[in-house]
Chains A and B, each alone.
Chain A
Amino acid sequence: MASSRRGLPEINAGSMADIAFLLLIFFLVTTTMDQDTGIARKLPPMPEEEMQEDDSQIHAKNIYIVLINTHNQLLVEGELMDVSQLKDGAKRFINNNGIDPNLSENPEKAIISLQNDRGTEYKTYIRVQNELAAAYTELRNDASLNKFGEKYAALDKSQQKEIKKIYPQKISEAEPKDIGGNE
């Protein structure tokens, strides 16, 4: 009866911190903080069987053809090119506005056609994709700095839409073919 009068003895909470630390360390170790990042792309839907793509409407000069072969070499508009030059080349093509008769009429009509070989290394492919995306990013940044005085990423949705209308990102990927370069 003596114990009931005294009430229940208090539980020693001194080791609580140790237990919590143990759990904490476990979660610290298992946590992966790395955020997944990547290049976002949208695949074209499968073409309908009876519908044949009509490329004839697109003027040849509005297409910037980039080919990558098995040896990870680039053929841009019929000429060998290093990847490091691709961004400037693409920018010149997109932003031509009809000055050079061989390049695009205006950014809206400009299409970049990318074709790779089955043997192309993924790394090279991503690098090319990256360079092309960088070309568009730079052009969009320039345009938004001119128009709104801020970088593209800092604009709000409707302003971004406006810039996107000027520089729509049109990167088309052809159906895979074996284009040259034997193993």
Chain B
Amino acid sequence: MSKFRKDGKKGIPAISTASLPDIVFMLLFFFMVTTVMRETTLFVSVKTPKATEIKKLKKKSLVSYIYIGSPVKRLQASYGSAARIQLNDAFASVDEIQEFIATEREARDEKEIPYMTTSIKADETAKMGIITDVKQELRKANALKINYSTRKGTY
């Protein structure tokens, strides 16, 4: 019994925090590797529609995004509220899409071109007119793999 009493007198030894940095670093590296920095600032507000039959978009490096929606609040004074197309960091017209696809292709390896996907991130209130125009341009540019960006959810 005396053995235990001796322990009690000493009190609980402090837990060594020497390995704390290691643990934190481990977490840090995990987040550093998984982080995808937002490359573009959105000028259009996009709330994608809901759908159930969705597929995950793999290989993000091979995806080019086309945003369609009405300009964000602070830009509505100068650009109005009609739906617009955004490519990279600027508003664009429909004719610029072919050029955009061409530059996207140049940035990729030749072997990867057939696997390139164009993700259409359009607002659910957007009209099909503008989306049809975009689709026609994509057909002309021969970028046939597309993905309608949607959220998971039921009606």
Q: Is the CB of B124 within 8 A of A122?
A: yes
A19 to B12, CA, bound (A): 28
Answer yes or no: A36 CB below 8 A from chain B CBs.
yes
Answer yes or no: B86 CB below 8 A from chain A CBs.
no
Choose among B36, B124, B129, B132 the residue that contacts A123 (Cβ–Cβ < 8 A): B124
Choose among B24, B132, B139 the residue that contacts A20 (Cβ–Cβ < 8 A): B24
A43 to B137, CA, bound (A): 11
Q: Which of B18-46 contact A (CB under 8 A)?
A: 20-21, 24-25, 27-28, 31-32, 34-38
Size bracket of the A interface:
35 or more
Answer yes or no: A100 CB below 8 A from chain B CBs.
no
Answer yes or no: A8 CB below 8 A from chain B CBs.
no
Answer yes or no: B63 CB below 8 A from chain A CBs.
yes
Q: Show the binding face of A for B, using Cβ within 8 Å.
A: 13, 16-17, 20-21, 23-24, 27-28, 30-33, 35-46, 68, 116-123, 125-127, 129-130, 133-134, 137, 176
Given contacts A37-B149, A40-B147, contact A24 B24 (CB under 8 A): yes
Given contacts A44-B139, A117-B128, contact A27 B35 (CB under 8 A): yes
Q: Is the CB of A126 within 8 A of B31?
A: no
Residues of A within 8 A of B151 (CB): 37
A65 to B125, CA, bound (A): 24
Residues of A within 8 A of B117 (CB): 40
Instruction: Output the nearest chain A residue to B118 by Cβ-Cβ distance.
Output: A43
Q: Is the CB of A38 within 8 A of B147?
A: yes
Residues of B within 8 A of A68 (CB): 128
- Count of A-B contacts judged by CB separation below 8 Å: 145
A17 to B68, CA, bound (A): 44
Q: Is the CB of A122 within 8 A of B60?
A: no
Write the nearest CB–CB distance from A154 to chain B, whole angstroms. 16
Q: Is the CB of A129 within 8 A of B148?
A: yes
Q: Is the CB of A20 within 8 A of B135?
A: no
Choose among A17, A20, A117 the residue that contacts B17 (Cβ–Cβ < 8 A): A17
Residues of A within 8 A of B123 (CB): 122
Q: Is the CB of B21 within 8 A of A28?
A: no
Shortest beta-carbon contacts, A-B, top 4: A118-B129, A27-B31, A123-B124, A133-B53
Choose among A16, A24, A38 the residue that contacts B119 (Cβ–Cβ < 8 A): A38
Given contacts A36-B56, A38-B148, A43-B135, contact A127 B20 (CB under 8 A): no
Residues of A within 8 A of B146 (CB): 40-43
Residues of B within 8 A of A129 (CB): 51, 148
Given contacts A27-B31, A38-B148, contact A119 B129 (CB under 8 A): yes
Q: Is the CB of B147 within 8 A of A122?
A: no
Instruction: Output the nearest chain B residue to A135 by Cβ-Cβ distance.
Output: B53
Write the nearest CB–CB distance from B130 to chain A, whole angstroms. 8
Q: Is the CB of B53 within 8 A of A130?
A: yes
A44 to B144, CA, bound (A): 7
